[in-house]
C-alpha cells in the first residue's frame, strides 16, 4: 500500500530513520549482553568439576591416608538419637548392656512344634514405657490384624491362616508362661524375631510395637476365665490408666470367629 503512495512513503522514511536509531541501540545492548554473558558461561565452575575425593579413596592429605573422615564419637544420624532406651529396646539397663542372650542355659526348652520356650525374661522391662490408652490398644488391634494375626490367630492361640496352611504353629499367648512374661519380651520378639519368627522391625515402628503389645495383653485378659482379676502384674502395676479388663477390645465372639474362614 505504501509503495503506491510516494507521499506516505516519504513520511514513513523520516519515521523509520528514528526507529532505526532506537533499534540499533537495542542491538548494541543485546550484542553487549551476549558477549559478556557468553564469557560468564565459559567461566562457570561447577561443584561437580572441582577437585574432590571419592568415597573410600586414598588420600595423601590426611595422616591416616583415608579420604573419608571418621565421624566424631557419639555422632547420631538425625532422628536416631533414641535416648529413651526402654522405649526403643524393651530392655532394662542391665538388659541393654548384656552382650549375650539373657540366660541361654535357661531357654533350651522347645515345645511339640519346635518353638523355643523362653522362660528367662531377665533384662526386659515389665512396665509399658508409654501410657496405655484405648487409642493405643485400638491401634495395636489394627496393626496386630495386619502383621500378626496371620500366624498367631485372632486371639493369639497360634492358629492363624498361614499356620493352617502349614507354617509351624507359634506358642499360644494364652498360657501362664506368656501371661506372666514382661511386656519387654513381646516388644523384643517383634523387634528382633525369635526362632522361626522373623523380626518385624522394618514393618512395625517402635510406637506401633508397643501398641501391639498392649493389644496382646488385652487378648490375654480376654482369654483368661479369671480375666477380671487376672494378676497381669506387669500391666496393672505400671499403668494408672491401664485398660480395664473388659471385653470391648477383644470381643469374645471374635475369639471363636475364624477370620478368613476355616478351611
Ligand atoms: C509368619 C508367621 C508369624 C508372624 C506373621 C508373626 N509371628 Fe510371632 N511367632 C511365629 C512363630 C513360628 C513363633 C515361634 C518361634 C520359635 O520359637 O521358633 C513366634 C513367636 C512369637 C513370640 C514369642 C512367644 C514365646 O514363646 O516367647 C511372640 C511374642 C510373637 N511371636 C509375637 C508376634 C507379633 C507381635 C507379631 C506381629 C508383629 C508376630 N509375632 C508375627 C510366627 C509368626
DSSP 189-254: HHHH-BTTBPP-TTTS-HHHHHHHHHHHHHHHHHT-TTGGG---HHHHHH-TTPPPS-SSSS-HHH
142 lines ligand 1 (CB under 6 A): no
pTM: 0.69
- Is residue 91 lining ligand 1, measured as CB closer than 6 Å? no
Look at ligand 1, atom 13, and give the residue with the nearest C-alpha. Answer: 170
For the chain, give percent helix, strand, coil, nearest 5.
45, 5, 50
> What domains, with CATH codes, occur in the chain?
85-255 (1.10.760.10)
**Residue 140 and residue 149 in contact, taking contact as beta carbons nearer than 8 Å:** no
From 189, 192, 199, the mutation candidate for ligand 1 (largest count of ligand atoms within 8 A of CB) is 189
**CB-ligand 1 contact for 192 (6 Å cutoff):** no
Among protein residues, the one with the nearest Cα to ligand 1's atom 29 is 186
pLDDT in tens, 112-163: 888 888 888 989 999 999 999 999 999 999 999 999 999 999 999 999 999 9
**Which ligand 1 atom lies nearest to the CA of residue 185?**
29
Express as a percent the part of the chain with pLDDT over 90: 47
pLDDT tens digits, one per residue of 216-248: 999 999 998 776 665 444 444 333 343 444 333
Per-residue pLDDT at 244: 43
pLDDT at 106: 55
The answer on pLDDT for 45 being more than 90 is: no
**Ligand 1 atom nearest to CA at 196:** 18
Amino acid at each position: 500500500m505504501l509503495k503506491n503512495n510516494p507521499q506516505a512513503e516519504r513520511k514513513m522514511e523520516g519515521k523509520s530513520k528514528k526507529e532505526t536509531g532506537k533499534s540499533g541501540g537495542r542491538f548494541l545492548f543485546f550484542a553487549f549482553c551476549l558477549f559478556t554473558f557468553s564469557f560468564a558461561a565459559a567461566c562457570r565452575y561447577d561443584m561437580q568439576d572441582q577437585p574432590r575425593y571419592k568415597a573410600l579413596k586414598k588420600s595423601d592429605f590426611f595422616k591416616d591416608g583415608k579420604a573419608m573422615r571418621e565421624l566424631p564419637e557419639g555422632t547420631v544420624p538425625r532422628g536416631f538419637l533414641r535416648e529413651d532406651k526402654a522405649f526403643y529396646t524393651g530392655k532394662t539397663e542391665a538388659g541393654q548392656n548384656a552382650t549375650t542372650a539373657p540366660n541361654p542355659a535357661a531357654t533350651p526348652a522347645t515345645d511339640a512344634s519346635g518353638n523355643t520356650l523362653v522362660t528367662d525374661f531377665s533384662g526386659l522391662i515389665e512396665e509399658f514405657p508409654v501410657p496405655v490408652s484405648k487409642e493405643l490398644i485400638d491401634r495395636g488391634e489394627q496393626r496386630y490384624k495386619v502383621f500378626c494375626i496371620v500366624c498367631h490367630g485372632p486371639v493369639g492361640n497360634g492358629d492363624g491362616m498361614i499356620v493352617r496352611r502349614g507354617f509351624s504353629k507359634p506358642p499360644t499367648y494364652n498360657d501362664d508362661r506368656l501371661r506372666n512374661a514382661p511386656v519387654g519380651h513381646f516388644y523384643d520378639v517383634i523387634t528382633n524375631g525369635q526362632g522361626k519368627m522373623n523380626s518385624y522391625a522394618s514393618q512395625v515402628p517402635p510406637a506401633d510395637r508397643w501398641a501391639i503389645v498392649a493389644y496382646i495383653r488385652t487378648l490375654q485378659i480376654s482369654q483368661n476365665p479369671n480375666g477380671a482379676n487376672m494378676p497381669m502384674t506387669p500391666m496393672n502395676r505400671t499403668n494408672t490408666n491401664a485398660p480395664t479388663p473388659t471385653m470391648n477390645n477383644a470381643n469374645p465372639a471374635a475369639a471363636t470367629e475364624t477370620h478368613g474362614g476355616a478351611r
